[in-house]
């Protein structure tokens, strides 16, 4: 901003005063016209109205003092008018805010499309796992978890796979290296199933127990269309007095209908698991062909979905070491275990298990 000093005034007649004040008013108007933004307005205020160096201060100091007494009134009137004009200019400058150019530079064009941020969503595995858990939660089951790095004792021995038993070979196990000096039961491995959490649960609480245990499990399996070395299971355990195979059948039949629709039928096929006796594989009527027979069910009309059985008394005997109430003469129970990937693949018609882990947004985006 230009800072002209205030000239001395030599003539004090009305015409001279008018001219002198008009010149100042013009200067103020020109300066005000060039103001842009609050900082400029503040500089203008200091320049004109500042108590010490302001021009008006200068005018009243020099002109008013030098004026002969008869001219003071005329000078004072014009001074007040100039001051009012400067204040008006300042108010206008502050009220106007930033200039149009400054506004245009910052402006947000609300007619443009916004930046689209992707909303996160549950992974289909998590979603299926939660769905399975809530079916059982509605039946009064609680939810438990256990460690993924497990001991041989919990993963195998307490589940009635004795050392050297051939049933161990059905679960190709990934073991933690360099533990040969430890007793077998303490050696660490990546759990091959969620069943060890049955034992951990029973050791922590006496019967009755109704619990589902979702979790990740690991096997030394090569990946193909339906196998992955890491996958998920939901384990279930129900222990109380007088639990029978009918309870098991009714519970799982209900759960399969809740997961796949009420038209689904179940059947129980004899099977073997070391920790249940008797054991069964649960098959559901093929959800693709309704049981008529198709490629998906290999023309049998049935699809095998999970394992289950009545808890083996040998398993209760291990639990009774810590919780004597697990006396197989007084209580009974059933257990089941299902693969989450397999159920998700059935529910959503997914043919490659690898799709779950590839992180491909074109796949995952379908589950938003």
Would you tell me which residues interact with ligand DAH (CB under 6 A)?
A: 193, 195, 235, 273, 276, 307-309, 335-337
Residue with tokens 């034992």: 199
Q: What does the chain come to in residues? A: 368
Given the complex with ligand DAH, which of 37 and 208 has the nearer CB atom? 208
Residue among 161, 181, 182 at smallest CA distance from 173: 161
Given the complex with ligand DAH, which of 193 and 218 has the nearer CB atom? 193
Verify cis geometry, omega within 30 degrees of 0, for the bond prior to 278. yes
Measure the CA–CA gap between 345 and 288, rounded to whole angstroms.
12
Measure the CA–CA gap between 295 and 289, rounded to whole angstroms.
9
Backbone angles phi, psi at 26, to 5 degrees: -65, -45
Six token digits for residue 152: 């041989």
Q: How far is the CB of 193 from ligand DAH (least distance, A)?
A: 3
One-character DSSP codes across 106-119: H---TTS--PPPPP
Given the complex with ligand DAH, which of 73 and 227 has the nearer CB atom? 227
Q: How far is the CB of 124 from ligand DAH (least distance, A)?
A: 21
Six token digits for residue 118: 């992707």
Q: How far is the CB of 338 from ligand DAH (least distance, A)?
A: 8
Q: How far is the CB of 288 from ligand DAH (least distance, A)?
A: 24
Given the complex with ligand DAH, which of 82 and 213 has the nearer CB atom? 213
Given the complex with ligand DAH, which of 305 and 335 has the nearer CB atom? 335
Residue 230's CB is within 10 A of a number of other CB atoms, namely 15
For ligand DAH, the nearest residue by Cβ is 337
Sign, Cα dihedral of 72, 77, 78, 84? positive
Given the complex with ligand DAH, which of 82 and 209 has the nearer CB atom? 209
- If you count DSSP H runs as helices and E runs as strands, how many of each does the chain have, helices first? 13, 9
Given the complex with ligand DAH, which of 54 and 278 has the nearer CB atom? 278
Given the complex with ligand DAH, which of 69 and 270 has the nearer CB atom? 270
Residue with tokens 């005063």: 17
Q: How far is the CB of 116 from ligand DAH (least distance, A)?
A: 42
Given the complex with ligand DAH, which of 144 and 309 has the nearer CB atom? 309
Measure the CA–CA gap between 34 and 122, rounded to whole angstroms.
58
Q: How far is the CB of 198 from ligand DAH (least distance, A)?
A: 7
Q: In Å, how far are 238, 243, 283 from 308, measured between CA atoms?
A: 11, 14, 11
CB–CB of 196/163 below 8 Å?
no
Containing 80, the helix (H) or strand (E) segment is: helix 72-96
């Amino acid at each position: 901003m230009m800072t002209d000093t205030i000239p001395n005034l030599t003539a004090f007649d009305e015409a001279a005063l008018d001219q002198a004040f008009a010149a100042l008013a013009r200067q103020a108007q020109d300066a005000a016209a060039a103001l842009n933004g609050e900082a400029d307005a503040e500089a203008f205020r200091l320049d004109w109205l500042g108590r010490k160096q302001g021009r008006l201060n200068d005018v009243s100091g020099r002109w008013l003092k030098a004026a002969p007494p008869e001219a003071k009134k005329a000078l004072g009137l014009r001074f007040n008018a100039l001051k009012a004009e400067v204040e008006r200019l300042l108010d206008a400058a502050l009220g106007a805010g930033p200039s149009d150019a400054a506004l245009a530079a910052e402006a947000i064009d609300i007619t443009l499309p916004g930046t689209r941020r992707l909303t996160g969503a549950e992974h289909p595995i998590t979603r299926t796992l939660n769905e399975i858990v809530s079916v059982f939660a509605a039946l009064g089951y609680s939810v438990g978890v256990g460690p993924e790095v497990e001991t041989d004792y919990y993963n195998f021995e307490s589940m009635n796979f004795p050392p050297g038993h051939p049933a161990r070979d059905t679960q190709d196990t990934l073991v933690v290296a360099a533990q040969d000096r430890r007793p077998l039961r303490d050696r660490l491995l990546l759990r091959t199933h969620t069943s060890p959490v049955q034992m951990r649960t029973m050791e922590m609480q006496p019967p009755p127990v109704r619990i589902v245990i979702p979790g990740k499990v690991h096997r030394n399996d090569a990946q193909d269309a339906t196998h992955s070395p890491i996958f998920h299971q939901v384990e279930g355990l129900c222990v109380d007095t007088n639990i029978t195979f009918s309870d098991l059948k009714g519970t799982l039949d209900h759960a399969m209908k809740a997961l796949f629709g009420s038209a689904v039928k179940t059947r129980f096929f004899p099977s073997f698991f070391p920790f249940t006796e008797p054991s069964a594989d649960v098959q559901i009527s093929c959800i693709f062909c309704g049981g008529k027979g198709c490629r998906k069910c290999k023309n049998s009309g049935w699809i095998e979905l999970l394992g289950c059985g009545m808890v083996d008394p040998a398993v209760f005997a291990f639990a009774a070491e810590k919780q004597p109430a697990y006396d197989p003469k007084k209580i009974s129970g059933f257990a089941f275990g299902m693969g989450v990937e397999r159920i998700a693949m059935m529910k959503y018609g997914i043919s490659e298990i690898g799709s779950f882990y590839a992180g491909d947004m074109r796949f995952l985006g379908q589950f938003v």
